[in-house]
Chain A
């Protein structure tokens, strides 16, 4: 026994290797006392003896130890007489805390012929046993488990109980096994699936109004493709929209193909410098200038298209300058913002372009590899439109040609907008981009300003500069080529362009600068030095204002002066990269090659202008739109991301209102990010994530001056779609199998028979009868106790019948001998008058119940086990479950992804669902629906209704609210009184958080979250006495409920409250009001007062 003790002790503390080493070494001679060796006394002894350790290093010690442990195990195993070999070949490694403990498991392994490893090794271990894993290990499961199964300890127990080795698969750790898509993905993905209307099963179980004595029969199933589509339209508009877009996107792709091919052909021709041919030249230009319109008029550019979904009349471009531009007043701020943002426009052209010419880049890359070899002779052409934004605007206004013109955001009288582009006459007045309009007007009073006209830009060109590498083109005279290109540009766009030619991109750019306006310049390799000598440093790309100032301090004004400084000192002064860049650029060295398109690492959108929020609602609204924008951009690029970063610009405490109108001013930059396991571009998931992220900031929304959302860890959407776990594939495979398979559904109690069918024509599910409607589609199975007569007419549901496909209907009508038509006519009125005790039973709700003891004897389980596609979509239970036969009222019109009210949810079902699942479901329930939910097991469905009635009646006057509180709190359930909060504007938040937290009825776990959100409310809303009263009442009730049985919870809550009270006036009032009551209650129960430090 002693030796076993020592063994177990070391095995369970294997993580603490250092300590163990000491101990074990010390007790090497006296192994038997190891178990006791933990006391401080022997520890000190061990430190002395460790010096005399016989082991040279740790690894030899470990090897020795492992060997010894193994021998021990073997000897013990052989000692145990009755050797059972259930686990022969199994070698387990126990990780962390388990029930039963690792020693017990070891005992089992000893007894039943398995092996027990104290240290993890890929070679010896066959199964890892653990009951819980830290998040980091789950994320990196392969690194942790080395691909071995991670199994719960019950596997061993059950195997022993069964006296044979069971398959470990069902015992796999949920954390690991749940590598499948989350419920949330189902909700959203499904909707898009539904909208496609391919194989949707709108299953609807119908319970006719029958006397109890009747056997409950007449389950009808039906599919309503059109209605399914409608439903989706109503409740998932966004997804639909995105779906549309994605379908558009594919169209675009298809059209792109030939175009890109043509471009490549042209490229080859270009290589022969066959530039005289008009058509060819035009295409050359198309390649040169990504924006050339002609070949692609039929192609809608995905990105712009997406934006144009929301109507873009050209008049708006001018009109918008007068519009309100802050998030405060403009509900569509995000949309308009990006519509009007020049930087956004420029920033996204590359993606638009890449979509259009997907194969172009590869063609270019080949050329580059060549050009790198012949470095010296390379010739790069840079074409840049002259003051592009202005040129486009004034090209139709020849009168303005020689007048100073500038393009800016808004034309408002204060002149606080920035000039983004000015033409050359204007520049001669000293007007520069980035200047405020009022300053520009001061310099040049007759300056004409225009807002952007993106549509025109798109039409003309989508970006205003391009590089062309024609090293290999053997062009005789690059200048000739350049001039012909420029001519062509002018002819098509009526805007002038300048061209620069140089040995590399840098020199070409510098040459263009010299060439402007409307000229061209060729800097031959020999002239590089001369040219650079006189060049001011700020002409080099990458040298901005700050760097320029720094250089000025060192008396460096031209590149010539810059060249005097050694590379080392530059690098010391400005950092490795910048230093090297300066050194190289000042010498005209630039190794970048044309056409390398970098894979974008992240996609996102920032709004740093016009962001002002009054309250949380504004902010959330804004974020929703931002999410849409980002989602669209992701879809544009055909990627999905896993990491989401929310950046917030927060006004500095002492910062004034910024100089630029509605600008962000002096801000702190904050950011939070989160990584999810499955890449997504789904707008709803984004919204949820963003909301969560915003919660992390603990920020007053009023202080927010800018918000950015970025998505990184991008994955190609196409490849991720191939994952087998996505819903789509699931659905399609599901529906395919549905067609093939025959379902046998025995109705245990009623001996009736169900036929289920999911087909493109619709399905009928009828009980107690069998209809042969379509052999290919319907598979009808007659049960052992065949009732071949159709159900009585009165049991049929009018609504269902009416919505049947006409051919099915006529067949049914035949069976009923024509009575069906009359029945429907009669039933119409009846149906409408029936009360709205909707009891539409949805498939998946039952699916979840598969393993649960479910009292309602509806044998739909099997349907769902087959039809797993629909598994997690919704929870709709027979809300009244076992209670009664409920009058049926068809819910077809209200067909929805989720139950329209919680009364339709079977509380017992919901209870059995895992917490996270439950939380998601509840989150997806519209707020008003979540009101009456109650998660305590004791409550029966009927009770839910009572509760919800109680809520309704207590809505208006605070007195009844309190009364209702009293009632429901006595029952001791947090959920029901949380519902009362929906009436109080600010406490509604608490309720929301509570719902989100997944109903773990402890207030202490909800409160901290509440504070973070409440912080804003506290500032923005008046504190009403009533709100304080309700909160106090809530706390009082909570104290009453908990004081006797859970004083710790009360203690935590009030410690939290006390902490909040410092920050929040509201909580300080609540705390002061409630504290005497609390102490009195504690005194009653415990004879003392709670000690609040």
Chain B
């Protein structure tokens, strides 16, 4: 938790956020039961019990993706980060959205502990939110997507090259939102909610 002194508040918030996202995304994946529960192990993060992927590849995927977000988060370019579960036809069934707002003009330093406590509540709430989610069909897949406010130019930086456009289809009909948790503090403002397709669409599937 030791951070460099010269970091901007946005930078500090972003690095806490990246850590948090890694844990939260793992928690979502665990919650949805895409993998057997044996694929996770209990760990402690911010003083709450969380899951961590045991499989190195899974762990790496989540870690690398979220770390790749860091420079963009710092610049405030990321609008939302989504964990999308979709079926074999690439039609999304459920999306867990982290909608971010990083206040770029915020000047004073970040109280790490406060931020942690706020973020902790997301994890706590998530662990009891299973009833809000839908049951997934047996072979579904998932991915992490990031919605950027503007596309990073490829080639400008190493990190930008990691990001590829997603193949996942978009829903054609209006979707439903079930909020799970919100946090609005400076410089970071985070909304966490689930998106479901409208009923007609889900019945077609």
Contact = CB atoms under 8 A, between A and B. Distances in A.
Interface of A: 9, 12, 36, 38-41, 97, 99, 101, 1044-1051, 1082-1083, 1086-1091
A41 B196 contact: no
Contacts of B47: 97, 99, 101
B111 to A, nearest CB: 11
A1087 B191 CA distance: 14
Nearest to B193: A1047
B176 A1091 contact: yes
B75 to A, nearest CB: 20
Nearest to B191: A1047
Given A38-B42, A1046-B182, 8 more contacts: A38-B41, A38-B49, A39-B38, A41-B38, A99-B47, A1045-B191, A1089-B176, A1091-B177
Contact of A1082 (B44, B177, B180, B184): B177
A1044 B189 CA distance: 9
A331 to B, nearest CB: 49
> Of residues B40, B41, B183, which shows the largest number of chain A Cβ atoms within 10 Å of its Cβ?
B41
B175 interface: yes
Nearest to A38: B42
A1091 B196 contact: yes
Nearest to A103: B44
27 contacts: A9-B44, A38-B41, A38-B42, A38-B49, A39-B42, A41-B38, A97-B47, A99-B117, A1045-B101, A1045-B182, A1045-B184, A1045-B189, A1045-B191, A1046-B182, A1046-B184, A1047-B191, A1048-B180, A1048-B193, A1050-B179, A1086-B193, A1087-B175, A1088-B174, A1088-B176, A1089-B176, A1090-B176, A1090-B178, A1091-B196
Nearest to A102: B47
B174 A1089 contact: yes
Contacts of A40: 37-38
Contacts of B44: 9, 12
Q: Which of A38, A99, A1046, A1088 has the most CB of B within 10 A?
A: A1088
B99 interface: yes
A540 to B, nearest CB: 61
B113 interface: yes
A335 B47 CA distance: 58
B113 to A, nearest CB: 6
Contacts of B37: 39-40
Given A1082-B177, A1086-B193, A36 B184 contact: no
A1091 B196 CA distance: 9
Contacts of B180: 1048
Contacts of A1089: 174-177
B22 interface: no
B141 interface: no
Given A99-B117, A1047-B193, A1086-B99, A36 B177 contact: no
Contacts of A38: 41-42, 49
Interface of B: 37-38, 40-42, 44, 47, 49, 99, 101, 113, 117, 174-184, 189, 191, 193, 195-196
A1086 B196 CA distance: 12
B158 to A, nearest CB: 31
Nearest to B190: A1045
A1090 B177 contact: yes
B101 to A, nearest CB: 7
Most buried by B among A1044, A1050, A1083, A1086: A1086
A99 B175 CA distance: 40
Contacts of B175: 1087-1089
Nearest to B42: A38
A1047 B38 contact: no
A1048 B176 contact: no
Contact of A1047 (B49, B176, B182): B182
B174 A1083 contact: yes
Kindly name the residue among A36, A101, A1045, A1050 whose own CB sees the greatest number of chain B CB atoms within 10 A: A1045
B178 A1091 contact: yes
Nearest to B120: A97
Contacts of B178: 1051, 1090-1091
Contacts of A12: 44
Nearest to A99: B113
Interface centre among A36, A39, A101 (most CB of B within 10 A): A39
A1088 B177 CA distance: 6
A1048 B182 contact: yes
Nearest to A1048: B182
A1048 B191 contact: yes
B179 A1047 contact: yes
A101 B182 CA distance: 24
A97 B120 CA distance: 12
A1091 B131 CA distance: 14
Contacts of B196: 1091
A531 B22 CA distance: 91
Contacts of A1049: 182
Nearest to B177: A1088
Contacts of A1082: 177
- Chain A CB within 10 Å — which of B47, B177, B195 has the most? B177
Nearest 8 Cβ contacts at the A-B interface: A1048-B182, A1091-B176, A1045-B184, A1088-B175, A38-B42, A1051-B179, A1046-B182, A1048-B179
A39 B177 contact: no
A1048 B38 contact: no
B174 to A, nearest CB: 6
A1088 B195 contact: yes
A39 B177 CA distance: 33
A6 to B, nearest CB: 13
A804 B179 CA distance: 65
Contacts of A9: 44
Contacts of A1045: 101, 182, 184, 189, 191
Given A1045-B184, A1088-B195, A1091-B196, A39 B41 contact: yes
Given A1088-B195, A1091-B196, A1048 B181 contact: yes
Contacts of A1091: 176-178, 196
Contacts of B184: 1045-1046
Contacts of B42: 38-39
A36 B38 CA distance: 11
A40 B39 CA distance: 11
B177 A1086 contact: yes
Contacts of B182: 1045-1049
A24 B171 CA distance: 50
Contacts of B195: 1088
B74 to A, nearest CB: 20
Nearest to A1046: B182
A1045 B175 CA distance: 20
Contacts of A36: 41
Nearest to A1091: B176
A239 B14 CA distance: 58
A8 B143 CA distance: 34
B177 to A, nearest CB: 5
B169 to A, nearest CB: 15
A1046 B101 CA distance: 11
Contacts of A1086: 99, 177, 191, 193
A101 B189 CA distance: 25
A1089 B183 CA distance: 20
Contacts of A1046: 182-184, 191
B78 to A, nearest CB: 16
A1047 B177 contact: yes
Nearest to A5: B44
B1 to A, nearest CB: 9
A500 B181 CA distance: 78
Nearest to B49: A38
Contacts of A1048: 179-182, 191, 193
Contacts of B101: 1044-1045
A38 B49 CA distance: 10
A1091 B42 CA distance: 32
A973 to B, nearest CB: 14
A1089 B176 CA distance: 5
